[in-house]
Structure 1
Amino acid sequence: MRNDILNKATDLFLNYGFKSVTMDDLAHEMGISKKTIYSHFENKTKLVEEATMNLFWEISNGIDHIIALKKNPIEELYEIKKFVMSRLKDEKASTLYQLQKYYPRLFETLKKKEIEVMQDCLVDNIRRGMEIGIYRENLNVQFVARIYFSGAISLSDHDLFPVSLFNKVELEDYFLEYHLRGIVTPKGRKILNEIINSNQE
């Protein structure tokens, strides 16, 4: 039952946001009493915390699986983006923005964990791209990895990127292309253009 509650809560949070979904909503959706939910989760904050971390590890494991496929680094980044967006349901409910606004301590904890996981992943991606000649050989790997991560986090800031101006899926595409065009070689640019063109078909 505990896992069922966690999975349903995660699904509702992703679709409607942390603020909008109440314990009453969750109980109603599952056809159980609130008492049953509280027997497994002390309060809504604890439920949000577990749902968030559960999703984080699920996404981390999915990214590890994509990396293990050893695709070329440009294709790998597009696969990771597609996977993350599908698990976050294209950020319809602006979950990261809501997490930062309503659960700031949890957001900071999550960000630290994301840095640990993504930093290694990005550094590896950049180094492999340099080795096979699709990323420029004079890149400062640590700088590029960190600037990419900080940019990715900032996409969830609605003051910088209001939803009235930017569709979340398009925003992710713009950002990834912007990042890659700054670091690819002519050989890498050819691969990048092929991926972009195939995605537009």
Structure 2
Amino acid sequence: MNIKSLLLGSAAALVAVSGARAADAVTVAEPEPAEYVKICDVYGAGYFYIPGTETCLRIGGYVRYDASAGQEGSFTGRGTTDVMDGDSQRSWSKRARFALKTWTGQETELGTLKTYTETRFDFLNGATDINAHFAWIQLGGLRIGADESAFDTFTGYAGAVINDTIVPYGGFGTNLISYTFDAGNGFSAIVSFEEGNSYA
């Protein structure tokens, strides 16, 4: 009897202690307010606000692989030397490219401030190449940096009049300082000071 009473008393004491612990208030720390990335639709699709700023950012790019064969052309890389045996390689060319693009936009007292960059990573016939294809900053109509020549962009790349692969009508890439005036009624004009040496 004494052992049975002792066991029942111990079990009752354990249940009472467990119940008392369950009744204690559990304190859970408040989570830190998360600062989520917000969509910025002022400059078009794909932009988001950089957290803590009023600057909108868009990130893009592409991956590309080209392989070509046939007659050597004046604008192709098929007239290269084979990296394995040093033989002339005149009928087969290949290239892999990764391009990283960024756009930013922000409103200022002087107008809209925009930037654009495009960095290309090329692996062409065994050789690697990295270049900043575009890198400019623009405030209102004033643009400074590496861009395509105004002789190409302002004329819409000559439209369907001239094929630039056959007849190159101008240098494309250049460092420039340009200003574009847009009257808003269909009239626009551009003044561009350009380095003149094509980097593209």
**Of the two, which has the highest radius of gyration?**
2
* Band of TM-score, shorter chain: under 0.3
Q: Which protein has the bigger helix share?
A: 1
TM-score under structure 1 normalisation? 0.24
Larger RCO (alpha carbons 8 Å, 6+ apart): 1
TM-score under structure 2 normalisation? 0.24
